[in-house]
Amino acid sequence: VNDNSASTALLHKTSVMVPHRLLWLAGVVAVSYRVNSQCSETITWPADWHLGPSERQLCAINFHRERGQVQAQVINHENAHLPLPFQLPAHQLQHKKPLPSHPLPTASVVYELENACVTSDHGLTFDDTRIIVNNMFYRKILPKTRPATRVNHHILVNLVVKWGDSLQHMMLDTLPRIALLQEIYEWFSKMPKELIYLIKPGPGAQVLQHMFHVPSSQIVLAREDALHCAQRVYFPVFEASVEIGMVPSRGMDPIMPFIDAYNAKSPSNDPRPVLLYLKRPQGHRRSVEPKLEKQFLWALRRRVNTTKYRLHVWDTDKKHNWQTDSRLFRDAAVVFGPHGGAFGNLPFSKANTTVIEIVPWDKIRGPYPGEDDDSTRPCYWAMASAFQQQYWQFEPTRFAGFRGTDIRFVPNDLIALFDQLGYLRPEAEVAADERHLWRKVLLLSGVGLLAILWYIRFLRGSG
């Protein structure tokens, strides 16, 4: 880019370009401003991270009150909360505390820093005076890898998140940031050629190319040994987000047309909607007790047969490709199973898809005062809600933590939920068909036996 001022004017607007329809849907207002405030926290930043002459104190920008003098595009979400999940079975929940309304981020923010750098592992963005901390998970945590080189760019969009090289974390943390950029700037519709997107190696770069049509020449993989710097850095974050994957209400609306267009490219080979069970490998974290799982799937398949649905067991232990799996999740009427990364494919599922997560509600709600929040994971509740899917939390009878195995639940309770939602044939009809089938089997067996006896008698008589 030869004309730096022209490219800056193209990308840096004093008024935010947000479609009024999206703002009306989300109930938010976007503003662009600079906030002057005292720095309430400083971080000692090693000199070699900027390849500069000395160590210095940087102002840590975490929340609204700490933004300092930073240019930012902001969409406020005051008092935003997740819609309460549907819950079953009731008899397992009677002794539990009331379900609180889980808070969502207080604001969606795109920071705009001049002459700034990005660390490759955590995605922290900083300039000579301040550091933008990527939500609570990276507060006061310096990256582990010392950069060996500094890579310079002109205009950089920071999409680097920790663990972003895995599909589920890319979908939980990177995809909402893409949606935010589209809502504010409409970049993925207009595709400015000046932008370079910095993202972790893995499926994220493929999603940018195949779903959002970003040219490969505008995608840079974040090298672990490099510090990526630019004359201007755009950094999308969600303020006051205390859990991974917490997405503002209707926060995915701006990218829904891209997902729908991608899904429409590949027609389905089987017109029957899928009941998609996400099976975790035996003995792995959060796997279901093998004997119980086998009995449950047999009983469910028995009720699904001869309906317009088909049961598919998606084994997470097998090799998968997100482009192939996307079609399966697109065709799913129900996605269900124990908590796990396979739910990261939910963005490919349609609105109103039923999502059933086998997880204690104590493990998906926000902590009560005085409780440790390290073991709560409401991410797929938030993801399903953002994509307007119907989220059910199903209570197990045994759950040994997120690192434990052999989850147990009552199969009949889960089958009853499928029955309640209209996905199964009535038990009386199935039982009647089975009786009719057995009568046929017995009749044919009797006829066959009589034929054999007659033939034996015939052979003896002719001899």
Q: Where are the beta strands (DSSP E) in 240-338?
A: 274-279, 310-315, 332-338
Q: 99 versus 20: which is more confidently predicted?
A: 99
Mean pLDDT of the region 188-201: 94
- Give the residue ranges of DSSP H helices in 158-289: 167-169, 175-185, 187-190, 203-210, 256-264
Q: What is the pLDDT of residues 276-335, one digit of tens each?
A: 999 999 989 999 999 999 999 999 998 898 889 999 999 988 888 888 899 999 999 999
pTM, two decimals, is: 0.82
The predicted structure's pLDDT at residue 50: 66
State what percent of residues in the chain have pLDDT above 90.
42
DSSP-derived letter for residue 367 is P
Q: CA-CA distance, 145 to 128, in Å (whole number)?
A: 20
Residues 138 and 124 sit within 8 Å (Cβ to Cβ) = yes
> Do 162 and 138 form a contact (C-beta atoms < 8 A)?
yes
State residue 25's pLDDT score.
36
State the pLDDT confidence band at 58, using cuts at 50, 70 and 90: confident
* Structure confidence by residue, pLDDT tens digits, 126-159: 887 788 765 554 445 566 666 778 899 999 999 9
Question: Is the pLDDT confidence value at 121 over 90?
Answer: no
User: CA-based Rg of the chain, rounded to a whole angstrom?
Assistant: 27
Q: Dihedrals φ, ψ of 434, to 5°?
A: -65, -40
With tokens 């389905």, the residue in question is: 268
CB 162 within 8 A of CB 137: yes
Residue 24: per-residue pLDDT: 32
Q: Using CA atoms, how far apart are residues 58 and 47, in angstroms rounded to an integer?
A: 11
Q: CB burial class (10 A; 0-12, 13-18, 19+) of residue 270?
A: exposed
